C-alpha cells in the first residue's frame, strides 16, 4: 500500500476508533450494565433483571440511606440496599427499622425483617467508611446480617434504573 492509501484508511477509521475509546471509558468509569443474580432483592428487582450501575454518582455524592448499590464481596457482585450509615446504631424490632433508637420509615417494598441488632455482628455503631446493607427479600438475602459491615471501597456504585426486561424499564426506588 502506498502512503496515500494508508492515510485515507486511517482517516476513515479514526471516527470508529474514537467511538470505541469513548464507549470503553464510559463503561469503565461512569456507567455499566449489571445483571441481578438471585432473589435477594425481590420484590423490587428479579433474577436476571439488567440494571445500570452508576459508578460516578456515589463518588460525587454521599451514599444515602435506602440507595440500592452494587457491592464487591470476595469478587462476587451483590446488589443490596443501604440501611445503616457510619456512626449509626441499627436495629429491627417487630419488622420496624430503628436508627439510633428512632423508627425510620422504609418507603419501598420489602419482605418482613426478623428482629436484629447491630450488636449481633459485634458493633454498637457503624464505624466510619462502613455501611450496613440488606436485600429487600429479607428472608432470603445474604447481607450485612451475615457478611458483616461493608467497606465504602467495596461499593462499586449505585443502581438507579432497570433496563431489562423491556416491559419493566423503570427507575429503582
**At 72, phi and psi to the nearest 5?**
-90, 110
Does residue 137 sit within a domain?
A: yes
Task: Domain count for the chain, please give it.
Answer: 1
**pTM, full prediction:** 0.84
How many residues make up the chain in this entry? 173
Instruction: Output the DSSP codes for 143-159.
Output: SHHHH--EEGGGEEEEE
What local confidence, expressed as pLDDT, does residue 25 receive? 75
What local confidence, expressed as pLDDT, does residue 60 receive? 54
| Chain centre distance of CA 144 | 14
Which residue, among 78, 75, 50, has the nearest Cα to 143 in the 3D structure?
78
Q: Mean pLDDT per 10-residue run, the chain (173 residues)?
A: 80 84 75 89 94 77 89 93 97 96 92 93 95 95 96 91 88 81
What local confidence, expressed as pLDDT, does residue 152 receive? 92
Does residue 7 sit within a domain?
A: no
Does residue 165 sit within a domain?
A: no
Does residue 1 sit within a domain?
A: no
CATH number of residue 103's parent domain: 2.10.109.10
Does residue 166 sit within a domain?
A: no
What local confidence, expressed as pLDDT, does residue 145 receive? 96
Domain extent for 55 = 31-159
Instruction: Report the chain's terminal Cα–Cα distance, integer Å.
Output: 58
What local confidence, expressed as pLDDT, does residue 1 receive? 63
Which residues are annotated as catalytic? Answer: 40, 80
Amino acid at each position: 500500500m502506498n502512503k496515500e492509501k494508508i492515510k485515507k484508511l486511517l482517516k476513515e477509521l479514526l471516527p470508529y476508533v474514537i467511538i470505541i475509546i469513548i464507549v470503553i471509558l464510559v463503561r469503565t468509569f461512569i456507567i455499566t450494565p449489571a445483571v441481578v443474580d438471585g432473589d435477594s432483592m425481590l420484590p423490587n428487582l428479579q433474577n436476571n433483571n439488567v440494571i445500570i450501575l452508576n459508578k460516578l454518582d456515589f463518588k460525587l455524592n454521599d451514599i444515602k440511606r435506602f440507595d440500592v448499590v452494587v457491592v464487591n464481596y470476595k469478587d462476587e457482585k451483590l446488589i443490596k440496599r443501604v440501611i445503616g450509615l457510619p456512626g449509626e446504631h441499627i436495629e429491627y424490632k417487630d419488622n420496624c427499622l430503628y436508627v439510633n433508637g428512632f423508627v425510620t420509615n422504609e418507603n419501598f417494598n420489602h419482605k418482613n425483617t426478623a428482629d436484629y441488632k447491630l450488636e449481633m455482628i459485634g458493633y454498637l455503631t457503624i464505624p466510619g467508611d462502613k455501611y450496613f446493607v440488606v436485600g429487600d427479600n429479607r428472608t432470603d438475602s445474604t447481607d450485612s446480617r451475615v457478611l458483616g459491615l461493608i467497606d465504602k471501597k467495596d461499593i462499586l456504585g449505585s443502581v438507579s434504573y432497570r433496563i431489562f426486561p423491556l416491559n419493566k424499564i423503570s427507575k429503582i426506588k
